[in-house]
Amino acid sequence: MTEPATVGAGLDRGEGRLERTGRWDGIHGLALAATVVAILVGKPVAILAGLAGVGFAAYSRFAEAPEPELAVERHVSDTDPAPGETVRVTLTVENESGATLPDLRFADDVPAGLEVVDGTARHTTALRPGKRASIAYEFAAVRGRHEFDSLTVVTRDVSGASRRVARRTTDRSTVVCRPAYEDSSVPLGDLATRLTGSQPVSATGEGLAFHSLREYRAGDPLGSVDWNRFAKDGELATRRFDQPRTVKVVLLVDARAAAYVTAGDGRPAVDACAHAAGALVGGLAEADCHVGLAALSPRECWLPPASGRSHRERLLDALTTHDAFGWRPPAATRGDTNDADGFGRLLTQIPGDAQVVVCSPVVDDRPVEAARALDARGHDVTVASPDATADDSAYRRLAATERRVRLDECRRAGIAVVEWTDGGRRPGPSAGATAGAETRVATDGGDARWR
Amino acid sequence: MSRRRRALLAVGIASVVAGVALTLRPGLVAFDWATLATLGVWVAALVGVGLAAFERFERDDAPPGGLPRVGERPDYGVPGDELAAAVAEVGAGERDAADRDRVRERLRVAAADALERFAGDAPGEAERRVADGSWTDDPDAAALLADADDAVHEGVEPEFDRRAERAAAAVARLRDRTDGGEPSGSVRGSRAGDPDRPAGGVADD
């Protein structure tokens, strides 16, 4: 006489199945017992009591839940809401099957991430032919592309002995909520491309601003020789000038299942990481960096570094709508587990002259391993980490402590760490200069003696 | 036709049928206890069917039992809860000794790392302090992670969950003591002038 807590679990869109509820499982025994008692006491009329049970048992054995033919209409009040705005959804179901549906239950398949704040997305009713039933509910918009394209329908026969469960596809309604990412930046290293740009990295060359002096080498152009120094000390020295370069930055967003944790506000850390990456897209693009995007996730997302307004829009669109940064964690990877989070593939995709900003809550060791591997390959790496830990139990405080230890391990390895808060980065002791403003180091053989 | 009138009509028809039957065949039913019981069963069954039908067709606010929960976010975990769940699942008996050791090892590593990070201990020193129990004032936490005879850990360990929680709290307190201060013995991830940092790929002039 018990039913599972949730029906329809595991059904894909368009699938359905007929199930027996088992509600009348014991009725056969009761009917038999009543008949036996009637025979034992010698009262034929009492056998009629058993017949009632036999009737129920026969009905439950042969009755089948009706197959509903429904016309579904869904109306969404706003398909392009701002974050936090409430959107009203009205769902109307009409019985087109020509027969009464004595027990019809339906639930709109509200996309993951959306929370109903008013009304309900489920309904139970009986529906005669041609009649309609409507529900209305409101949800608060959050970042992402949210597709309404199905609903779960359950019908039962009158006795409740069987039910038919189906996920029916409906006309698609799409709600896209695009946050306004505030521009922000993080410390960048000196790794740059050979292209002239506007980032004052440590490169020296054909620029205008004086950078440093170094010992004269045969072949240096005479125009670059510091003749004043030669006149003063008799020593030949070559003047070097700043040469701003173009910097490529790949934003690597940790979107593994492990990053789908929350500090208790119901939002996964992946959402905070996506917001951080969105802010960095703007800040780095403003600093004339070429920005790319990648997801550390089984769900592949890779946009190579480039510049321009349309590319910037493409990056922000990916952070808003790509499945890799969605609200549902990725499923466990099957088969090849050597590259479960796609990091091996990313190593072949990230250009050798690109810096990498890892956006991760750092709740396990994997982001640290990835950052160190990238650092070992010569990339300048920065970790931008939103804090997704809580402190209301001993184990949660322990997790926060472990995160702090991991971040410190990054710092020990020479990797800059930025503690990211909702309003942007929180400059830690390691967060020195931001893009385009840091002290530069010569990398072409000059040393302090010649500065 | 209103519901009330329909119900009255049904009762009336049933009464007429019963009256006609008893008129034509007096003594059709002997009202002894067996007949009453049989009638009771049938009345209960028919009333049940009637109530169920009424419930289905007339109520619009029936509970949506069995339908999936919708309009709620996935139940994301909070960091640390997986360890709490692992500790809660592990038993105190000999059969669960391996599971307890896994928990113990994780706490040991966390304690040693925290000692290095927040107390400035050298790696070997941190492990020694965890092993001899001098890393914390909490005797329960110290005893849980201290090196002991295998027989102690492989036998029954009552109150393992309480000790594990105290050990987790003791490790977290190591951070609390230095919260807001500079990490001891750490090299900050400064970019400029870091001699150990590999040179970037900037072209020479």
- Most confidently predicted of A191-195, B2-6, B184-188: B2-6
SS3 content of chain A, % helix, strand, coil (to 5): 25, 30, 40
- Higher-pLDDT residue of A426, A183: A183
Residue in chain B closest to A380 (alpha carbons) equals B200
Task: Name residues 225-264 of chain A within 8 A of B (Cβ).
Answer: 240, 243, 245, 260-264
Closest approach of chain B CAs to the CA of A14, in angstroms? Answer: 16
- Model pLDDT, residue B36: 76
Per the DSSP assignment, residues forming a β-bridge with A261 are B77
CA distances from A365 to A360, A371, A404, B116 (A): 11, 10, 12, 17
- Model pLDDT, residue B150: 59
- pLDDT, tens digit, for every residue of B54-94? 666 665 555 555 677 777 888 899 999 999 999 999 887 77
- Model pLDDT, residue B183: 41
- pLDDT, tens digit, for every residue of A176-223? 999 998 888 777 876 666 666 666 666 566 666 677 778 888 888 777
> Which of B72, B176, B203 lies nearest to residue A203, judging by beta carbons?
B203
Compute the count of residue pairs across chains A and B with CB atoms less than 8 Å apart.
Answer: 267
| pLDDT (mean) for A425-434 | 42
For every residue of A294-331, DSSP letters joined together read EEESSS--EEEEE-SHHHHHHHHHHHHH-GGGSSSPPP
Amino acid code (one letter) for B163: R
Contacts of A370 (CB under 8 A, 6+ apart): A252, A296, A343, A358
Tell me the backbone φ, ψ of residue B29, rounded to 5 degrees.
-120, 125
Per-residue burial over A210-239, b if 16 or more Cβ lie within 10 Å, else e, is ebbbbebeeebeeeeebeebeeeeeeebbb
User: Which tokens belong to A346?
Assistant: 């990313």
Put simply, the answer to whether B42 touches A52 (Cβ < 8 Å) is: yes
- pLDDT, tens digit, for every residue of B9-27? 887 888 778 777 777 776 7
- Higher-pLDDT residue of B106, A17: B106
Cβ atoms of B103 and B82 within 8 Å: the answer is: no
Put simply, the answer to whether A416 touches B168 (Cβ < 8 Å) is: no
Between CA B128 and CA B112 the distance in angstroms is: 9
Cβ atoms of B78 and A264 within 8 Å: the answer is: yes
In three-state form (DSSP H/G/I as H, E/B as E, the rest C), the secondary structure along B13-74 is HHHHHHHHHHHHCCCCCCCCHHHHHHHHHHHHHHHHHHHHHHHHHHCCCCCCCCCCCCCCCC
CB atoms within 10 A of CB A377: 13
Closest approach of chain B CAs to the CA of A310, in angstroms? Answer: 28
Put simply, the answer to whether B80 touches A120 (Cβ < 8 Å) is: no
Using an 8 Å CB-CB cutoff, list chain A residues near B182. Answer: 429
Identify from B29, B49, B69, B70 which residue to disrupt to test chain A contact, counting A C-beta atoms within 10 A and taking the largest count. Answer: B70
Cβ atoms of A281 and A253 within 8 Å: the answer is: no
Between CA A299 and CA A295 the distance in angstroms is: 8
Range with the poorest average pLDDT among A3-17, A111-125, A339-353, B167-181: A3-17
CA angle A116, A122, A127 (to 5 degrees): 150
CA distances from A383 to A200, A350, A413, B124, B190 (A): 21, 16, 12, 28, 12
Residue A444, pLDDT above cutoff 80: no
Residue A310's pLDDT band, with cuts at 50, 70 and 90, is very high
Q: What is the CB-side half-sphere exposure of residue A13 using CA atoms within 13 A?
A: 11
| pLDDT (mean) for A348-354 | 91
Residue A335's pLDDT band, with cuts at 50, 70 and 90, is low
Between CA A308 and CA A329 the distance in angstroms is: 31
Using an 8 Å CB-CB cutoff, list chain A residues near B70. Answer: 107-110, 116, 121-122, 152
Cβ atoms of A228 and A272 within 8 Å: the answer is: no
- Block residue for tokens 């591997």: A373
> Which of B32, B76, B182 lies nearest to residue A429, judging by beta carbons?
B182
Contacts of A238 (CB under 8 A, 6+ apart): A213, A214, A215, A216, A217, A220, A224, A225, A226
Range with the poorest average pLDDT among A68-82, A90-104, A434-448: A434-448
Handedness of CA A404, A410, A413, A414 (dihedral sign): negative
Between CA A198 and CA A246 the distance in angstroms is: 6
Q: What percent of chain B stands above pLDDT 90?
A: 29
Q: Which is it for strands A354-359 and A381-386: parallel, antiparallel or unpaired?
A: parallel
CB atoms within 10 A of CB A93: 27
Range with the poorest average pLDDT among A37-46, A280-289, B89-98, B102-111: A37-46
Residue B123, pLDDT above cutoff 50: yes
CA distances from A285 to A185, A192, A248 (A): 10, 15, 10
Between CA A363 and CA A232 the distance in angstroms is: 59
User: Which tokens belong to A438?
Assistant: 């840091």
> Which of B77, B187, B189 lies nearest to residue A261, judging by beta carbons?
B77
In three-state form (DSSP H/G/I as H, E/B as E, the rest C), the secondary structure along A110-122 is CCCCCEEEEECCE
Residue A259, pLDDT above cutoff 50: yes
Residue A430, pLDDT above cutoff 60: no
Put simply, the answer to whether B192 touches A329 (Cβ < 8 Å) is: no
| pLDDT (mean) for A240-259 | 86
- pLDDT, tens digit, for every residue of A11-66? 777 788 888 777 777 777 877 887 787 777 777 777 777 777 777 777 777 778 88
